Chain A
Amino acid sequence: MRRSGFFTKKLNSFLMFSAILCFSYLPSFSNEVEKHEVNHTENADTAAISHASSNTDSSHAEHGEEKFNASELILEHIADSHDWHLWGNTSIHLPILLYTDKGFECFSSGKFNHGHDKVAGKHYTYAIEHEHIEIVGENGEVNEEATKSMIDISITKNVMSMFISMVLLLLIFTSVASSYKKREGKAPKGFQSLIEPIIIFVRDDIAKPNLGYKYARFMPFLLTIFFFIWINNMIGLVPFFPGGANLTGNIAFTVVMGVITFFVTNINGNKSYWKHIFLPDVPWWLYPIMIPVEIIGVLSKPFALIVRLFANITAGHIIVLSLICLIFIFKTIMIAPVSVGFVLFMDVLEMLVAFLQAFIFTMLTALFIGTAVAEPHGDH
């Protein structure tokens, strides 16, 4: 069981990556590749899938009777997931990695059978409830203590999407870098000339105005942040595989970005930056007010970044999903053109937002670093 789980995970990852490569280059063949991949997944995990299909029929029937709940559907779509739903009853089962107090666990999420089955692992038995993995006892009761100490580091849909974006970024930028080497000193050509203005935009309009002559040291960081956020925003807008994950609208992702910005800013903070916080130019008796205010300022800057990116992207997804839900709320196809029209409008707007949020995040990061490394002027 453990071996097969591991194998499935590896196979999944491998197939995923090959699919990504094909996707990035051969959109016309994408459908074929997808089918192919799903077939493989099925072969590797025959038991689980066949089980799933037989069961989903009944669950489908159940769904039909249920009242349509838009908010539940929307929240489910913007949340992370352990399966990557493709269409109908087919989905990619992503590997589950658990760090429990007794050691590592690793198996395919297909074994949960869309939450219907419990999985007996090496150390515990696991159940999944609303994408939340719990440790359960023999009779199905939740072992709260063990669940609390367990860390779920599964390769979820968002993580997978992030890996896809990483591979894309690496492919794009190493190829661009190699064309710079090949065509040294010449004018940019092809893909290179698409990317170059953006890189120059980041350098001349984001880094240089905020960081001055010290910009060169922070360029790799700013470029990475900008393109990482942008590409993930864009992938998030694609409604089907390999898009559809709401990575940049996930608070965990934005928290990491914000915290990294916080560390980069404060590690690079110079003497005048720290003096401004702990020995501000005010009468000494104002220190009890000023110092906490300054410290709150330091913390609120990355916090604002975190919330801004999270809220903007999540809001966009919620609006698009709500517009789609209108069709099911009104239970008529007549509303569909209106919905689709608005969704089209929102998607175009979201493409702007995707760029804008990446830009704002990078811009503010550069600004914060800029204030931390600025030379004292003496004109406070």
Chain B
Amino acid sequence: MDIVTPSLGLVFWTSISFLLLLFLLGKFAWKPIMKALDDRERSIEDALSAAEKAKDELARLNNESELLLKEARAERDLILKEAKQLRDNTIADAKGLAQVEANKMIEKAKVEIDNQKNAALAEVKNQVATLSIDIAEKVLRKQLEDKSKQENLVADLLKEVKLS
């Protein structure tokens, strides 16, 4: 049949046309188009992965800053605590010292008072002794003014010695 018999002319022209078209389109259309498509796809992929990376980086940074903040807070607390302790210690020390000093002063005062007291007592004793001797002397002088009284006394004293 005619319609299933390929005519040579059309075969000839189709071959030429197709090969020419393949060459021309390949050179001027497919090559730049495929390249542009590949480039664009690659750039989109790169951009997406870069965004993902940036997101990760941001999360990491956030984490880090949070950690840092926590650390800083802890450190602040520690410092405050230490400061408080130091203050307390200082106050306690100062109190202690003051107490010791006071005690020392009191002790000193006590000692001084004792000394003074002792000194005064000694004075009083001396005074009393002197007075007593004076009194005794005067008494004795008065009593021993006559001879008889002296002899009586000696006699008494001698009696006493005989007895003992």
Q: Are B22 and A224 in contact (CB under 8 A)?
A: yes
Q: Are A180 and B32 in contact (CB under 8 A)?
A: yes
Look across to chain A and name the residue whose beta carbon is closest to the beta carbon of B8: A151
A260 and B19 alpha carbons, distance in the complex (Å):
9
Q: Are A170 and B24 in contact (CB under 8 A)?
A: yes
Contact (A177, B28) CB under 8 Å given A200-B37, A219-B34, A224-B18 = yes
Shortest beta-carbon distance from B145 to chain A in Å: 151
Q: Are A224 and B26 in contact (CB under 8 A)?
A: yes
Question: Digit string of A310-340 for contact with B (CB within 8 Å is 1, else 0)?
Answer: 1000100000000000000000000000000
Shortest beta-carbon distance from A317 to chain B in Å: 11
Count of residues in B whose CB is under 8 Å from the partner chain: 34
Residues of A within 8 A of B (CB): 75, 78-80, 97, 130, 151-156, 158-159, 162-163, 166, 169-170, 173-174, 176-177, 180-181, 184-185, 196, 199-200, 203, 216, 219-221, 223-224, 227-228, 250-253, 255-257, 260, 310, 314
Q: Are A159 and B29 in contact (CB under 8 A)?
A: no
Partner of A252, one of B11, B24, B28, B29: B11
Q: Are A253 and B36 in contact (CB under 8 A)?
A: no
Q: Are A255 and B11 in contact (CB under 8 A)?
A: yes
Contact (A158, B10) CB under 8 Å given A224-B18, A224-B25 = yes
B163 within 8 A of A: no
* Chain A to chain B: the 4 pairs with minimum beta-carbon distance, closest first: A173-B29, A252-B6, A252-B10, A180-B36
Q: Are B2 and A79 in contact (CB under 8 A)?
A: yes
A177 and B30 alpha carbons, distance in the complex (Å):
8
A80 and B17 alpha carbons, distance in the complex (Å):
17
Query: Which residues of chain A have C-beta atoms less than 8 A from B33's C-beta?
Result: 173, 176-177, 180, 199
A97 and B30 alpha carbons, distance in the complex (Å):
33
Q: Are A162 and B14 in contact (CB under 8 A)?
A: yes
Shortest beta-carbon distance from A106 to chain B in Å: 13
Query: Which residues of chain A have C-beta atoms less than 8 A from B15's C-beta?
Result: 256, 260
Look across to chain A and name the residue whose beta carbon is closest to the beta carbon of B31: A220
Q: Are B30 and A219 in contact (CB under 8 A)?
A: yes
Query: Which residues of chain A have C-beta atoms less than 8 A from B13's C-beta?
Result: 153, 155, 159, 162
Assuming A152-B9, A219-B34, what are 19 further A-B pairs, CB within 8 angstroms?
Answer: A152-B8, A154-B9, A156-B9, A159-B9, A159-B17, A185-B39, A185-B40, A200-B37, A219-B30, A220-B25, A220-B26, A223-B25, A250-B10, A251-B3, A251-B4, A252-B6, A256-B15, A256-B18, A310-B4
A184 and B33 alpha carbons, distance in the complex (Å):
10
B5 within 8 A of A: yes
Residues of B within 8 A of A (CB): 2-15, 17-18, 20-22, 24-26, 28-34, 36-37, 39-40, 43
Sample 15 A-B pairs with CB under 8 A, ordered by A number: A79-B3, A80-B7, A130-B2, A154-B9, A162-B17, A169-B25, A176-B33, A180-B33, A185-B43, A251-B6, A252-B11, A253-B14, A255-B11, A256-B11, A260-B15
Shortest beta-carbon distance from A59 to chain B in Å: 22
Q: Are A153 and B32 in contact (CB under 8 A)?
A: no
A166 and B13 alpha carbons, distance in the complex (Å):
12
A255 and B8 alpha carbons, distance in the complex (Å):
11
Q: Are B28 and A174 in contact (CB under 8 A)?
A: yes
A130 and B7 alpha carbons, distance in the complex (Å):
14
Partner of B21, one of A169, A203, A250: A169
Query: Which residues of chain B have C-beta atoms less than 8 A from A251's C-beta?
Result: 3-6
Query: Which residues of chain A have C-beta atoms less than 8 A from B25's C-beta?
Result: 169-170, 173, 220, 223-224, 227
Query: Which residues of chain A have C-beta atoms less than 8 A from B18's C-beta?
Result: 224, 228, 256-257, 260
A227 and B30 alpha carbons, distance in the complex (Å):
12
Shortest beta-carbon distance from B42 to chain A in Å: 10
Shortest beta-carbon distance from A197 to chain B in Å: 11
Query: Which residues of chain A have C-beta atoms less than 8 A from B2's C-beta?
Result: 75, 79, 130
A310 and B4 alpha carbons, distance in the complex (Å):
9
A18 and B3 alpha carbons, distance in the complex (Å):
31
Query: Which residues of chain B have C-beta atoms less than 8 A from A162's C-beta?
Result: 13-14, 17
Contact (A196, B37) CB under 8 Å given A223-B30, A251-B5 = yes
Partner of A78, one of B3, B6, B14, B36: B3
Query: Which residues of chain B have C-beta atoms less than 8 A from A158's C-beta?
Result: 10
Query: Which residues of chain B have C-beta atoms less than 8 A from A159's C-beta?
Result: 9-10, 13-14, 17
